Amino acid sequence: MFRKISLWDLFVSFGLGLLTLISLFTHFLIVNYNTPTYNHLLVIIEKTFNSTLSILFFLIPIIFVIGFIMDAISNKLIKLVENIFKLKEESKEIKALANLIKNKYMPNYEEIKSYDWCKNYILQNELETPFMAFLSKFGFYRGAACILFINGIFTIIYYPIINSQYLIPIFIGVVISISGYILLQRSKEFYKHMDKCVYINYLISIKNTKLNSRSLK
């Protein structure tokens, strides 16, 4: 089931796209500083983005496209790392809610996950919940963490090769990687909130539906 694109989705894509573009631009300028390529790029940027219309019709769509791509890439990379190193954990409360719904409301749907069942129910019935806010914040922090990890690893490996002063880039790369780890932990907090929100709002909706059906009899 596909859901509609919301303002939260646009926020995530724009934020990740902008962060990626700034990262690429920064690395390019550092590597090519005081070279003909560097000067040529500055001239191109000055000519291309010399008006508001050029920014609106050229730069912003590029940021969104890059953001959508990075969101998908970060999703795959983080899941791959979590599966390899067995990093994904669920709290006892979340497991209890999932098992309750599975056993009580999904006895004939063993192949479907409780989370997918509840999420699709919420989206299909357009329930007013903070689910989308949690989902978007989770996606943004996860994507930003992935971008920082890539930047940190690139800084640690590449810059010592082209620069004899290797201690400074290694230190900067480590700081960037630690920042990525902090954002990843933050994303996990929103992931837990998102799971709990989906299960609890599903149970509340089911209960309210039963109460309404009884009152109509």
Which two structure tokens, joined as six digits, stand for 207? Answer: 């209960």
Query: Would 22 be classed as within a structural domain?
Result: yes
* DSSP-based three-state secondary structure for 40: helix
Query: Would 1 be classed as within a structural domain?
Result: no
Which two structure tokens, joined as six digits, stand for 153? Answer: 């690893």
86-136, pLDDT tens digit by residue?
667 778 889 999 999 999 998 788 788 899 999 999 988 888 889 989 999
Report how many domains make up the chain.
Answer: 1
> What pLDDT, on a 0 to 100 scale, did the predictor assign at position 217?
56
Report the distance separating Cα 133 and Cα 66, nearest Å. 21
Amino acid identity, position 41: L
3-state secondary structure 141-170: HHHHHHHHHHHHHHHHHHHHHHCCCCHHHH
Query: Would 92 be classed as within a structural domain?
Result: yes
Instruction: Dihedral sign for Cα 34, 38, 43, 48, please.
Output: negative
Report the distance separating Cα 97 and Cα 88, nearest Å. 17
> What pLDDT, on a 0 to 100 scale, did the predictor assign at position 1?
47
Q: Find the distance separating the first CA and the last CA of the chain, reported in whole Å.
A: 33
H-helix segments, 32-166: 36-48, 52-54, 60-85, 92-105, 114-124, 131-162
To the nearest 10 degrees (0 to 180), the angle between helices 36-48 and 7-31 is 150
141-178, pLDDT tens digit by residue?
999 999 999 999 999 999 998 887 789 999 999 999 99
Query: Would 2 be classed as within a structural domain?
Result: no
Residues 181/144, Cβ–Cβ less than 8 Å? no
Instruction: Dihedral sign for Cα 100, 106, 108, 111, please.
Output: negative
Query: Would 121 be classed as within a structural domain?
Result: yes
> What pLDDT, on a 0 to 100 scale, did the predictor assign at position 177?
95
Which two structure tokens, joined as six digits, stand for 121? Answer: 């129910």
> What pLDDT, on a 0 to 100 scale, did the predictor assign at position 118?
93
Q: Residue 74: is it exposed, middle or buried by C-beta count within 10 angstroms (0-12/13-18/19+)? A: buried
Residues 180/153, Cβ–Cβ less than 8 Å? no
23-39, pLDDT tens digit by residue?
999 998 888 877 787 78
Query: Would 188 be classed as within a structural domain?
Result: yes
Domain that holds residue 66: 7-216
Query: Would 184 be classed as within a structural domain?
Result: yes
Report the distance separating Cα 20 and Cα 150, nearest Å. 10
Query: Would 174 be classed as within a structural domain?
Result: yes
Quote the pTM value: 0.86
